[in-house]
Structure 1
Amino acid sequence: MGKIALVGLGLVGRAWAISLARAGHEIALWDERPEAIGETLSFANKVLPELDAQGLLDGEAALSVRGRLRRAGSLEEALEGAAHVQESTPEDVEAKRAIFARLDRAAEAEAVLASSTSAILPSLFTEALEGRARCLVAHPINPPYLVAAVEIVPSRWTDAGVVQRTTALFRAAGHAPITMTREIDGFVVNRLQGALLEEAFRLVAEGFATTEDVDVALREGLALRWSFMGPFETIDLNAPGGVRDYAQRYQRTYAQIFSSTQWRADWSGPMMDRIEAERRARLPAEQLGERAAWRDRRLMALAAHKRRAAEEIGE
């Protein structure tokens, strides 16, 4: 397996470290804050045994995976010999331009330069680079060691071979690449999530349902199917004649709904006061961290279940 350099070790960068080391890559860790490397290693020491207990290390010992995580004393040391560079610095376009200029100067000539950004179009921070053809976005759905999807987003000048190499790298690492043909605001995942959130806010703003009602609709309804198949496969199986039959049966219903979705609920002010009050009544603020840890344990169990189900039932 080739060497990968991780540049930026916040929540996303340290999660990439787990995922890519598990896939067999030697990982060089670097951050402007030297203490972030130690925090990443401590995080790995905690998470890897938990993944091992769920059978999510592909039969390898946690210590073996942990041994592929290496400190880099400088950015240049981290980049030396790396075939892929995954940048996960803060979401600021000027900061992205600055770090990508450094990466383009110092990385190996054939190295792919990928950003984990969830919202910034790759064209906005790579246009001026001499090596812009090797730059793109590889955006994970956090945490990537539990959620397989990763968005591969090229700019209009990204070389097609770079897109193919990046897609192949993540697929080989156990990920499920969403390989886009061109960039658009929000990419794929946040555009889908955004559409759902907009409707969730509208339903609560108009008093049709509480925040918990909306959560139940997803948690105990749509998400059960969506955890192992997407919306197009869902509707293909929800009408006797498949997807065309479904569209013919239900297009009018969705067309009638559409006109009532053409406005935005305010995500602030009194509306947010109400939503926050409902959420804090169910989960006090001091328990947010504990509940996030619970979420990750549930995600581990779900990931383990999906692996077993795929083997026993089929994809």
Structure 2
Amino acid sequence: SLAVRPSRPCSGRGLTQNCHVSCKVTIFGSGLVGCQWAMLFAAAGFQVALHDAKEGQAARALQQIDSQLRDLSAKGHLRGCLSAEQQQQLISAPGSLDEALDGAFLVQECVFEDVQVKRDVFRLLDAKAPAEAFLCSSTSCIMPSEFTSELPGRARCLVAHPVNPPYFLSLVELVPSPFTDPGGCANREGDACKAGPGADRDDLRLAPRYCFLGPLAVMQTNASGIRDYCQRFGSGVARVSATFGPTPTYQGEEVDRVAAQMNTLMPPESLADVCARRNQFLAALARMKRDFSQSRGSQDNI
């Protein structure tokens, strides 16, 4: 079993005070999700090492992160108790995977949603990461047993799936292996517009996203349009949807019909602007909720 547990870098539930640098996290994969994970961990005071299999990608991601942190700070939407400059200093892009993994207590995988790619990555991480480190995957649809069952260190592997956009929504699914049902609370809520059984107030953090975008618009913005979403995640959504009754196939005419509607309403070439506006509104909503909680003396960072 894993005996090592990091101390919490901030007191209280909200990341608002008493921050200190504590422990190191490695992010494998520096795309959108990887960058937002890095920003979240830095906001909490963790040292973050970015690594990407594509040469030069992690360095480019650092530049994007620096720009995003400055923009968030200027708008008053920066998370955590550290300044943008302090958070930037916590994030690095070491030149090798060995250096990135050295001293890490947690490794967060953020690669493409492909089971074979994840098998290869986790085989590498299990061989190279410190023995006490947790190995977490950001997958949204693949069961952890599908890419960790043959690993010597499979006991330390689990899914930690962030809801998109991770920086603005306080919900992460933790899915252990092999004792979990196909699909967690977030997928069930998104696919059926309702929470799965057993969800309580602290679990349901998707409502802010649906304030601005409905389920189809969420699908449109979580990939390069509906068609791309269905190609990437359709099989996983279908498995989860099978528990609801008649199962949509996410293929053929139904995809064509919905994709045509969504592409008219929200053209793929406009998605970057749509996502930017969504993030702006989500950040403003989070700030409003934080101010409201503080005004009534609550420490609950809802």
> By the TM > 0.5 criterion, same fold?
yes
Segment drifting more, 277-286 vs 56-65: 277-286
**Residue in 1 aligned with 2:84?**
62
Q: Does the 8 Å CA contact 2:77/2:284 hold for their aligned counterparts?
A: no
Which of residues 283, 287, 295 in structure 2 aligns to 1:312?
295
Instruction: Name the aligned partner's letter for residue 64 of structure 2.
Output: F
SS in 2 for 1:151: strand
TM-aligned CA deviation for residue 262 of structure 1:
4.0
Distance between the aligned counterparts of 2:44 and 2:129, measured in 1?
Answer: 22
| 1:295 lines up with 2:292 in the alignment | no
Q: Is the 8 A contact 2:29 2:51 kept in 1?
A: yes
Tell me what 2:188 maps to: 191
Judging changes above 3 Å, is the alpha-carbon distance between structure 1 residues 222 and 308 closer, same or farther for their aligned structure 2 residues? farther
Distance change >3 Å, CA 220–CA 6, structure 1 → 2 = closer
Secondary structure at the residue paired with 1:119? coil
| 1:93 partner amino acid | V
For 2:185, the aligned partner's letter is: V
Give the superposed CA RMSD: 2.4
**Does structure 2 conserve the Cα–Cα contact (< 8 Å) formed by 1:117 and 1:137?**
yes
1:256-307 per-residue CA deviation (whole Å, 9 max, x = no partner) reads xxxxx84345644444343333333333333222111111111111221222
State the structure with more CA Rg: 1
Deviation for aligned residue 1:222: 10
Which stretch has the larger CA shift, 89-98 or 262-271? 262-271
CA-CA distance at 1:220 after TM superposition: 8.1
Whole-Å separation in 2 of the counterparts to 1:21 and 1:279: 36
Given the superposition, is the C-alpha separation of residues 70 and 50 from structure 1 closer, same or farther in structure 2, using an over 3 Å criterion?
Answer: same
% identical aligned pairs: 39
Matches within 5 A, 1:20-169: 20-52=41-73, 53-156=75-178
Q: Against the structure 1 CA distance between its residues 92 and 281, is the aligned structure 2 distance closer, same or farther, given a 3 Å change threshold?
A: closer
Give the partner amino acid of 2:182: D
Q: 1:49 to 1:109 in 2, by over 3 A?
A: same
1:39–1:142 CA distance, 2 compared to 1 (3 A):
farther
The offset of 1:149, in angstroms, is 0.7
Q: Secondary structure at the match of 1:67?
A: helix
CA deviations 1:216-273 (Å, max 9, x no partner) are xx648999xxxxxxxxxxxxxxxxxxxxxxxxxxxxxxxxxxxxx8434564444434
Residue 137 of structure 1 and its aligned partner are, at CA, apart by 0.9
Partner Cα separation in structure 2 for residue 44 and residue 220 of structure 1: 25
TM-score, scaled to structure 1: 0.68
After superposition, the Cα gap between the structure-2 partners of 1:270 and 1:107, relative to the gap in structure 1 and judged at 3 Å, is: closer
Partner of 2:197: none
Q: Find the counterpart in structure 1 of residue 220 from structure 2.
A: none
1:160-239 matches, within 5 Å, as: 182-196=179-193, 219=211
Say whether the 8 Å CA contact 1:14–1:40 is kept in structure 2.
Answer: yes
Counterpart position of 2:29: 8
Cα distance, 1:185 vs structure 2: 1.6
Gaps of 5+ in 1: 157-181, 198-217, 224-260
Q: Aligned with 2:33: secondary structure?
A: helix
Paired residues in the alignment total: 233
Q: 1:277 to 1:72 in 2, by over 3 A?
A: same
CA shift at 1:41, angstroms?
1.1
* SS at structure 2 position matched to 1:6: strand
Query: Using the alignment, how far apart are the partners of 1:34 and 1:221 within structure 2?
Result: 35
